[in-house]
Amino acid sequence: MVRSVSEVVFVDGVRTPFGKAGSALAETRADDLVVKVFREVLRRNPHLPPERLDDVSVAATTQVGDQGMTIGRTASLLAGIPHTVPGYSIDRMCAGAMTAVTTLSSSIMAGAYDLALAGGVESMSRHPMGDGMDPNPRFLSERLVDTDALIMGATAENLHDRFPQLTKERADAFAYASQQKTAHAYEQGWIQQDLVPIATRSQELGWGLLSTDESMRPETTLEGLATLKTPFRPHGRVTAGNASGLNDGATAALLASESAADELGLSKKMRMVGFAFAGVEPEVMGIGPVPSTQKALDRAGLSIDDIDLFEVNEAFAVQVLAFLDHYGIADDDPRVNPMGGAIAVGHPLASSGIRLMNYLARDFERTPSARYGITTMCIGLGMGGTVIWENLHHDGSKA
């Protein structure tokens, strides 16, 4: 049988509200968070026969406990997906969910799959960053990486060092804007469209309901941001205010070949154009989106000028600013993170790649003049990942 290359479409995506580590979702199992988003994807897409799914991939950075045991398979079974559908887990640190999407999409492009379910989860309450980690001593003894490479906040301070024009004042201003844009998006009801409320349990407080992102600080002021401590070095520039927090949450996305989506009458929110991952010096991992974006653009035959919308993960404000400066984009360009980002809503590591895709799909709906958009993020240990998407709502005009 001769297989032809298939187009991949993003059918739908959902997520839990992101909780603060140690707070609302602290006593909720990570696999139960995945079950919740999987069930919601199936509920929202009743034309999808679950048995038609070809594979399930779920990402987690810390794959132990309730985030271990091949969570893509276990969460699939727990969600009621037929046992005939296989599943697996995947890890590329912060880009786990992004890699789950690109890996499954590669199989769809090759004609091996028609339909797939991707997810990402991180309970930083139950599994703090680095929990159970045992770095090979050669990393440091042979100076393969700088000691800063294992401390994400230190890598962000190194970016400030490398690019002196990326001042704390610029980082604080970007962080303030993220909070304001997120508050506006909530006021407009844009973010809530893809949130799955989660019942919370606390031995001390009893049952509750989390229906909004717990980390938002709409009351943030520039004056307040200026007073925050810099925990990673004396007189540093990275603070809790201009960086994402420690969070719990899960995401899920339904992917399909365009022909399968048409056959089943599924929605088609955006089409994958291409993707790329790239490596950089681990001690300045935040610059990773620059080479991964350039590689993706080159492969697609596009330039940065062709991109109408940008969803850039806000692990640290300085990381986004480094990307914007490289490509000559203004700090306050309205095409960048129109609904705010991780500084406001949080960054549960492996889940965030699909959160970016959810946002871009909604950006496309509201901006029919936009044809191309990207989702991009920096990745621990010195990497970047970028996916280019085409707006299937594009009206033919120029953004």
Residues 356 and 298: their CA atoms lie apart, in Å, by 22
**Torsion angle in degrees (nearest 10) through CA of 294, 389, 67, 24:** 110
Residue 261 host element (H or E): helix 258-264
Secondary structure class of 147 (helix, strand, coil):
helix
Residues 158 and 56: their CA atoms lie apart, in Å, by 37
Going by C-alpha positions, the residue among 288, 283, 359, 323 that lies closest to residue 95 is 288
Residues 6+ apart with CB under 8 A from 137: none
Most distant CA atoms of the chain, gap in Å: 65
CA angle (392 as vertex; 388, 395 as ends), nearest 5: 115
Residues 6+ apart with CB under 8 A from 389: 10, 270, 271, 272, 273, 357, 360, 364, 372, 373, 374, 375
Going by C-alpha positions, the residue among 209, 224, 191 that lies closest to residue 358 is 191
Confirm whether 127 is a catalytic residue: no
CA angle (303 as vertex; 190, 328 as ends), nearest 5: 75
Q: Are the CB atoms for 218 and 182 separated by under 8 Å?
A: yes
Other C-beta atoms closer than 10 Å to the C-beta of 241 total 22
Q: Which residue among the candidates 83, 94, 127, 184 is catalytic per the annotation?
A: 94
Q: Which residue among the candidates 127, 160, 347, 394 is catalytic per the annotation?
A: 347
What the block records as the tokens of 197 is 């409320």
Q: Which residue among the candidates 47, 235, 378, 394 is catalytic per the annotation?
A: 378
CA angle (97 as vertex; 266, 135 as ends), nearest 5: 165
Confirm whether 347 is a catalytic residue: yes
Query: Scanning the structure block, which residue is given the tokens 């230190």?
Result: 154
Q: Which amino acid is at 174?
A: F
Confirm whether 235 is a catalytic residue: no
Which active-site residues does the annotation give? Answer: 94, 347, 378
